[in-house]
Structure 1
């Protein structure tokens, strides 16, 4: 069940990150970036703030916010390498 939640929330977060960054990489790349960003941010940032990561299957406002932040940062890094600018 946790994997399904991770995929759904990561996909939505990646889509939102693409909208926030005004990115034209495509929906598939944004969804993948959202999933990877959610995983990385869940393992790195969430223990620092004391919440449950999205990988545990618990959906909370802080886990979604951390996942969105991770997806935005990862999308900015990808844009930096692909275009030379963050936008």
Structure 2
């Protein structure tokens, strides 16, 4: 959250989570969108950091949040899909 701040992280995280749920055709509420975006940004920043790529500022945080939220939605679907089959 370099240079974004907590309020900015909540707003951008909400947008990133909302964009991800629209893209992944997932049905989540506003609160979960915010959580997905914020946690997704952290996950994506970590993963891209391993590759030597870093995102900065509001736009970078939005992109990282979107990508990370999509990853988290895909993981949740995979886990839920496995538990339903057994």
TM-score when scaled to structure 1? Answer: 0.71
Deviation at 1:9, TM superposition (A): 0.3
Whose Rg is larger? 2
Question: Is residue 81 of structure 1 aligned with residue 79 of structure 2?
Answer: yes
CA drift of 1:11 comes to 0.8
Alignment of 1:10-29 (within 5 A): 10-29=13-32
CA RMSD of aligned residues (A): 2.2
Looking at structure 2, the residues matched to 5 and 23 of structure 1 have their Cα atoms a distance apart, in angstroms, of: 24
State which drifts further: 28-37 or 42-51: 42-51
Q: 1: CA distance between counterparts of 2:75 and 2:65?
A: 15
Q: Which runs of 4+ in 1 moved over 4 A?
A: none
Report the CA distance between 1:10 and its aligned residue. Answer: 0.5
1:27 offset after TM fit, Å?
3.1
Choose from 42, 61, 68 the match for 1:39.
42
Counterpart of 1:59 in structure 2 is: 58
Gaps of 5+ in 2: none
Question: Which structure is higher in helix share?
Answer: 2
Whether the 8 Å CA contact 1:46–1:63 is kept in 2: the answer is: no
Aligned length: 78
